[in-house]
Amino acid sequence: MPHTTAAHRRRASRPLPLVAVGALVAAAVALPQLTPDAFAATTLRGYADGRGVRIGAAVGDSPLRSDSAYTTALDREFNSVTAENAMKWDAVEPSRGGFDWAAADRLVAHASAHGQGVRGHTLAWYAQLPSWLKNGNFSASELNTILKSHIDTEVGRYKGKVYAWDVVNETFNEDGSMRGSLWQDKLGTGYIANALRWAHAADPAAKLYINDYNIEADNAKSDALYALAKQLLADGVPLHGIGFQSHFVVGQVPSTMKANLKRFSDLGLEVSVTELDIRIPLPASSDELAQQSADYKTASENCLGVARCAGITVWGVSDKYSWIPGTFSGYGAALPYNESYAAKPAYTGLSNGLDPTA
Ligand code: G3I
């Protein structure tokens, strides 16, 4: 992929951060043959750079500002970031015409300072809408104008700084019917093509995605998305990729995942795993942590084994800030690092999934 070689070269020529130098010294004691470049290759981002793909993490604004152990792991291991909440509509325009870009700008600046790309998330979604929009009783024509203006403003603001946008998020029900939302109910399915066209006009270089969950397997929902994607491409709509969120339960990575991603890739679309986490009933046993490690490897290989896989993003860095326990009662331990930033077996699984020789 074009960004790869350049990114790899940039990384190889950049001085290692102090923490990495410290780790390098420690690693060199055990493995004297390691060179600085070889050490860099043993981080997640080192492997990803070497393959020309992204390894990303969803980033919360609060730990980004206040937790140096968090940013140390983030910057050492990941070459891509996604704003967990900071680019959503309720965050950037809490009152009509009253914008707050502080958290989103902070992440974009952080990424730029640490050689990371930014995935933009998300422009047209049913959730995390500000109340002025949700409760505004706008007409279809007003909503159309509001959505266009939102996309123009946000994509325009980060033009050249966001390499891919989740333009449309979570538009299907599990049975493949269109999910009810402010956009779907008032504007009909045509809002999807419009949103993609507006985003493309605002930043022609950004890759534009439809993103969803429970579409990793070959099922009714992914079939419906496949049909929609095919139609959008036939209509010349600028759709460039499909984001497979991949919020999994331990031991349940779908067996049809790779074949399913391949059929989208075969349409000429990029495929990306965009929100990977693998939750475990708490407390997690050592068997479950080992299974989770195998699952991280399988899930990442299911994407990287497909021609147009652009990369993998995990939905958080450490279990300390994961959304899982707050939403799935009794579950947790879903991410590669534990709450004290020790790498879990899941880290090794993900690392082995990225390492073509493992
Ligand atoms: O910003 C408010 C804050 O003002 C308020 O004081 C506080 C009190 O609860 O809530 C804050 O909002 C929270 C928001 O995250 C920002 O921290 C919401 O309560 C909380 O529900 C929200 O959760 C996010 C969730 O999306 C909302 O839908 C999670 O952090 C985030 O991880 C999650 O991410 C989604 C993806 O965008 C799409 N795919 C599924 C994924 C997991 O649900």
4/52 Cα distance (integer angstroms): 4
Beta strand 309-314 with 247-249: parallel, antiparallel or unpaired?
Answer: unpaired
Annotated catalytic residue 275:
yes
59/82 Cα distance (integer angstroms): 6
Residues in CB range of 306: below 8 A, 6 or more apart: 258, 261, 262, 265, 271
Rounded to the nearest whole angstrom, what is the distance from the C-alpha of residue 86 to the centroid of ligand 1? 10
Q: Is residue 335 part of a domain?
A: yes
Q: Is residue 6 part of a domain?
A: no
269/240 Cα distance (integer angstroms): 5
The token pair that represents 246 in the structure block:
């991949």
At 12 the pLDDT is: 34
The token pair that represents 171 in the structure block:
């538009």
Ligand 1 atom 30 nearest Cα = 323
Which of ligand 1's atoms lies nearest the C-alpha of 121? 37
Q: Are 130 and 95 in contact (CB under 8 A)?
A: yes
Q: Domain residues for 320?
A: 18-354
For residues 25 and 67, the model is more confident at 67
The token pair that represents 70 in the structure block:
């968090």
At 41 the pLDDT is: 72
Q: Is residue 216 part of a domain?
A: yes
- CB 321 near ligand 1, within 6 Å: no
33/46 Cα distance (integer angstroms): 17
Q: Is residue 1 part of a domain?
A: no
Q: Is residue 64 part of a domain?
A: yes
Q: Is residue 153 part of a domain?
A: yes
Q: Is residue 9 part of a domain?
A: no
Mean pLDDT calculated for residue range 185-202: 98
Rounded to the nearest whole angstrom, what is the distance from the C-alpha of residue 191 to the centroid of ligand 1? 24
pLDDT in tens, 339-355: 999 999 999 999 999 99
Ligand 1 atom 18 nearest Cα = 128
100/350 Cα distance (integer angstroms): 35
The token pair that represents 185 in the structure block:
């109910």
pLDDT of residue 30 exceeding 80, the answer is no
Mean pLDDT calculated for residue range 72-101: 98
144/316 Cα distance (integer angstroms): 33
- CB 126 near ligand 1, within 6 Å: no
Ligand 1: which of 323, 324, 327, 331 to mutate, most ligand atoms within 8 Å of CB?
Answer: 323
pLDDT of residue 45 exceeding 80, the answer is yes
pLDDT of residue 4 exceeding 80, the answer is no
Q: Is residue 5 part of a domain?
A: no
At 40 the pLDDT is: 62
302/87 Cα distance (integer angstroms): 28
Q: Are 91 and 112 in contact (CB under 8 A)?
A: no
How many other C-beta atoms are found inside a 10 Å radius of the C-beta of residue 342? 9
- CB 277 near ligand 1, within 6 Å: no
Q: Are 316 and 335 in contact (CB under 8 A)?
A: yes
Ligand 1: which of 64, 84, 85, 211 to mutate, most ligand atoms within 8 Å of CB?
Answer: 85
What total of structural domains would you count in the chain?
Answer: 1
Dihedral of alpha carbons 252, 255, 257, 260, sign: negative
Lowest mean pLDDT among 29-43, 75-89, 301-315: 29-43
Catalytic pick among 154, 216, 275, 288: 275
How many other C-beta atoms are found inside a 10 Å radius of the C-beta of residue 220? 16
Which of ligand 1's atoms lies nearest the C-alpha of 62? 17
For residues 198 and 13, the model is more confident at 198
At 356 the pLDDT is: 87
DSSP annotation string for 36-94: HHHHHHTSHHHHHHHHT-EEEEEE-HHHHHH-HHHHHHHHHH-SEEEESSTTSHHHH-S
Give the CATH number for residue 187. 3.20.20.80
